[in-house]
Amino acid sequence: MSNTTFNKSLPIAIGCDHAGFDYKETIKKMLEANGWQVSDKGTYSTDSTDYPDYAHPVAAMTEKGEAAAGILICGSGNGVCMTANKHQGVRAALCWTNELAELARLHNNANAICIPARFVSIELAEEMVNTFLSTAFEGGRHEKRVNKI
């Protein structure tokens, strides 16, 4: 496993349900302003929708190596996280603090971050995404553990 940060030559896959729509739009703009390509898998409004319809395409891109990382947002973060983790090559982490976003990368080599829009501010969500994308996997003793997943 590589202990580098994410490759900017690949897009970031992002998706959400209705509860995460406003956060997705804000995070997408931030990513693009920071030089990332973004593959937006929806949803595209605040109309009520089903989170798996958006989490599966983000996870599939991440699993196939077509995306550098995945960002998923729903009300609690749990639904998109459970859905993404059904994909063999995805290690999705539910984060509600910046420290958890950092540790998800450092210790777990997570390749998708799941954000609970109803429980964190948009400012914190942006901070967590930036930390997640800029933190490298530590490897070492953690690599053996991650390989057991």
pLDDT digits (tens, 9 = 90+) for 106-128: 999 999 999 999 999 999 999 99
- Classify residue 96 as exposed, middle or buried by CB count within 10 Å of its CB (0-12, 13-18, 19+): middle
Judge whether residue 42 has pLDDT over 80: yes
- The domain 12-147 having CATH identifier 3.40.1400.10: the answer here is yes
Cα–Cα–Cα angle for 27, 50, 98, rounded to 5 degrees: 35
Judge whether residue 104 has pLDDT over 90: yes
Residues with a catalytic annotation lie at 74, 107
- The domain spans of the chain are 12-147
Residue 3: predicted pLDDT: 53
Pair 70, 84: CB distance under 8 Å: yes
